[in-house]
Chains A and B, each alone.
Chain A
Amino acid sequence: MKLKGAQIVVESLIAEGVDTIFGFPGGAVLPLYDALYGAKLKHILVRHEQGAAHMADGYARATGRCGVALVTSGPGATNTVTGIATAYMDSIPMVVLTGQVPVGLIGNDAFQEADIVGITRPCTKHSYLVRDVNDLARTIKEAFYIATTGKPGPVLIDLPKDVLNATAEFEYPKTVSLRSYNPTVEGHPAQVKRAFETMKQAKQPVLYIGGGMILANASAELVKFAKKTRMPVTTTLMAMGAHPTREELFLGMLGMHGTYAANMAMHECDVMVCLGARFDDRVTGRLDAFAKNCTVIHVDIDPTSIGKNVVAHIPVVADLLDVMKKLNALAEKDATDWDDKHRPWLTRLAEWKSLYPLRYEKSEAGIIKPQFVVEQAWEAAKGRNPIWTTEVGQAQMWAAQFLQFDGPRTFLSSGGLGTMGYGLPAAIGAQAAFPGRLVVNIAGDGSIQMNIQEVITAVQYGLPVKTVILNNGVLGMVHQWQELFHGKRYSNSEFQMNPDFVKLAEAYGAVGMRITREADVRPALEEAYKVNKPVLMDFVVEKEEKVFPMVPAGGTVKEMMLL
């Protein structure tokens, strides 16, 4: 069947099983928008292309499927860069379709031309400039395959306007063959066995879990394995939800703002089992004092993650789902009395947990504590199967610390890039995938303003996302660093002015609420969760509150600041 390039794109997306795309039109992609007219694809018209990229990302994180964004050439494409980089750093499967000037004009500084393939080269897993309509369907097939396999990541396809207008025979390829790309999947059985034997010898092991566990859909296997082997679990920010949080074996998040118990466990362990994490500097602190006295087992699908920062004594390059299944099979047949072996260690960890839990001082003058709001946001959401998203800063850290999680893909946060402005569009993306679930964005008053324009998108499409603004009137995390490390010289971190968030919400047709008294926190949340509309909740909270514990950047657990 002969089709125009634009129709080939639409048909290919449908063949890939895509149901929703996030985009914004412009000259170069007009043929594609024309093909979308009346097509069986839901298109969500954003208000800024960064929003489209984050929505596709939020959709992908919540569902595990590939997110899709569509934008025009030049400024449309460049506006997605932050969203692409955000997805890249957190290994999120995403396909970004960008318009491009006609092939003959490329390189001429044509109107709305940008070398988007060049600009995004370092923050995409792969990218394509399609110069021939005959390559289009195959390219799309490859893009989805690359985005979703191995270590997932964003793939960009640049589509010159004349390619969209040209015609070609269309048949969507059934298979992909790429001689240069064969993501390793199976864990070497002998190496997995070696890892398991090492765990059997351990007296003080710890399972250090990263976002890879969620990406690999292996959380259930993890829970099973930890339970069977009685090994304590700590997760990175990216892995919140990979293991239920309210359980004896769970130590909390580790790293800069991790719990005392988690960081001490990492420091004192004899065997560190790193599963799908990459020893980021926010986790390790000073490298020469990290993991010095333990055997490191490192399982990751990405060979470049292994041995990059920390030497792995037992490296395993593999898909975590496969490795976890193998580990569980080994544990199944094994007679080790794990509980007995780990009893002294678990007792010590339990002591640390009870001596230094995550905590905050209750408010005195009735001023609302931000941590209290987060706790209440979770309490009020019980039984509603919530998905949480965050912006970046203190609010994000409090969300990671004071929310509780029962399962994966319920905490969507920009970890690697730390992108302010991520939370709201990501929430909209997740809500588009799960219209019936409660989706809540935990935000600071700074971050929420970075993509606030998307409130109207949520209103227009009836996506009732809730935003909890912890309004401290400052760029809280910056303020905290200035207080602690820059002699309280608060250079440009205090908002002298903020908009009236209630009026702003109302102007967009959403519900606005301002909460200034502690007693009103819970009722406001309950009410917000009930209304079937987007809600902006402006919680006026304590300005000086800090995130603790804190291991200063480049520091060690010895320097951990506790409350």
Chain B
Amino acid sequence: MKHTISVLVENRFGVLSRVAGLFSGRGFNIESLTVAETEDAAVSRMTIVTRGEDRIIEQINKQLNKLIDVIKVVDVTAEEHVERELLLVKLNAEEKNRAEILRMVEIFRGKIVDVSAKSYTVEISGGDRKIEAFIEMVRPLGMQEMARSGKIALPRATGAPAPKAKKPKSGG
């Protein structure tokens, strides 16, 4: 099963290699990994998306905790949380495609962030279902390049109203 693990680490030289090395050295899988500073410049947040049986996920959590520079590990999958990913995709913008692209961007609440004679670059943010759905929809139109940020996540504030049952867990 897919898990999103949020890791607060000391914002220090070499931390990324310790975390990445832990995953490669122990044969854990990484689907995506993002890292950047938090509100406290001395602390970075890594969001790691990984896959594995419960036993493996438990090991990943424990092994991460064991790293000296790791301050806190939360498997947000198990909790109410918000997660987002950013997609940038450069689409063929031939005459016949343009309307369709604009329509898709509208439906998915995206933005066109760069335009040239032959291409539109679109920005979409959301959970992975939304991102994947968008990619599915526009792929037939001709995709030149694409970049995904990898997922970031935060647990929901405690006391916030619980989301309605139907709302997809990944948000967006």
Q: Which residues of A contact B (CB under 8 A)?
A: 117-118, 121-122, 125-127, 129, 131, 146, 178-181, 302-304, 307-308
Contacts and interface: CB of A to CB of B under 8 A. Distances in A.
Contact of A303 (B14, B21, B65, B70): B65
Contacts of A129: 13-14
B68 A307 contact: no
B69 interface: yes
B116 interface: no
B62 A303 contact: yes
B71 A180 contact: yes
Contact of B69 (A122, A180, A304, A307): A180
A242 B58 CA distance: 31
Nearest to B10: A180
A307 B25 contact: no
A125 B68 CA distance: 8
Contacts of A178: 68
Q: Is the interface of B mostly helix, strand, loop or mixed?
A: helix
A121 B21 contact: yes
11 contacts: A118-B17, A121-B21, A126-B68, A146-B68, A180-B68, A180-B71, A303-B62, A303-B65, A304-B62, A307-B55, A307-B58
A179 B63 contact: no
A180 B70 contact: yes
Interface of B: 9-10, 13-14, 17-18, 21, 25, 55, 58-59, 62-63, 65-66, 68-71
A178 B68 CA distance: 9
Contacts of B66: 302-304
A118 B15 CA distance: 11
A164 to B, nearest CB: 19
Contacts of B18: 121
Contacts of A179: 71
A121 B9 CA distance: 17
A126 B17 CA distance: 12
Nearest to B18: A121
Closest 5 CB pairs of A and B: A304-B62, A126-B68, A180-B71, A303-B62, A122-B25
A307 B21 CA distance: 22
Nearest to A302: B66
A121 B13 CA distance: 13
A181 B68 contact: yes
Contacts of B69: 126, 180
Nearest to B13: A129
A3 to B, nearest CB: 24
A444 B66 CA distance: 37
Nearest to B72: A180
Nearest to A127: B14
Nearest to A151: B66
Nearest to B55: A307
A130 to B, nearest CB: 11
A302 B62 CA distance: 9
A179 B18 CA distance: 18
Contacts of B17: 118, 121
Contacts of B62: 303-304
Contacts of B71: 179-180
B21 A122 contact: yes
Contacts of A308: 59
Nearest to A305: B62
Nearest to B63: A304
Contacts of A121: 14, 17-18, 21
A127 B13 CA distance: 11
B26 to A, nearest CB: 9
Nearest to A123: B25
A498 B49 CA distance: 55
Which of A125, A146, A180 has the most chain B CB within a 10 Å cutoff?
Answer: A180
Contacts of A302: 66
A228 B9 CA distance: 46
A545 B166 CA distance: 70
A302 B17 CA distance: 22
Nearest to A125: B68
A138 to B, nearest CB: 13
A275 B33 CA distance: 36
Contacts of A304: 59, 62-63, 66
A125 B69 CA distance: 11
Contacts of B10: 180
Contacts of A307: 55, 58
A122 B14 CA distance: 13
A173 B70 CA distance: 23
A178 B13 CA distance: 16
A209 B17 CA distance: 35
A459 B142 CA distance: 77
Contacts of B25: 122
Which of B9, B62, B68 has the most chain A CB within a 10 Å cutoff?
Answer: B68
Contacts of B59: 304, 308
A117 B12 CA distance: 14
B156 to A, nearest CB: 25
Nearest to B22: A122
B101 to A, nearest CB: 44
